[in-house]
Amino acid sequence: MEILINLVGLFIIAFIVWWFWIFKKQSEAHVEGNLLDIVVDSGVYEPSVIHVKAGEPVTLRFIRKDSSPCAEKVLFDGLDISADLSVGTPYDLTFTPEKKGEFEFTCQMAMYRGKLIVE
């Protein structure tokens, strides 16, 4: 019986790890008209994979709904861009991606994860 309970516990831990760190619902979007809304809620950016064109200015409008401190920052790896998001006030992040490639964007603890694809 004890072994069974331990197995159930292990399964639950594995599930939690999988859910928060490994499995992320991925949704892709191409920026149309240089503006894209990104909702920050429940541990995911929606959409989380964003296609933009190199050399064209783009505005990513972050709409934060998650009030946990985890969601308050967004950092773009390799682009030297970061922003502080507040709940209820959309944050417009405008920049011109120059370098082609794939750039991760995350919260400080990398629980929220997204990818910017510059093409």
Residues at the site binding Cu ion, with contacts judged by CB under 5 A: 70, 107, 109, 111
Shortest reach from residue 56's CB to Cu ion, in Å: 29
Residue 10 is which amino acid? Answer: L
Sheet with 44-46, strands from edge to edge, namely: 44-46, 35-41, 58-64, 91-95
Give CA torsion, residues 9, 13, 15, 19, to 10 deg. 160
Shortest reach from residue 2's CB to Cu ion, in Å: 36
CB-nearer residue toward Cu ion: 68 or 96 = 68
Give CA torsion, residues 54, 28, 109, 34, to 10 deg. 40
CB-nearer residue toward Cu ion: 31 or 111 = 111
Shortest reach from residue 83's CB to Cu ion, in Å: 14
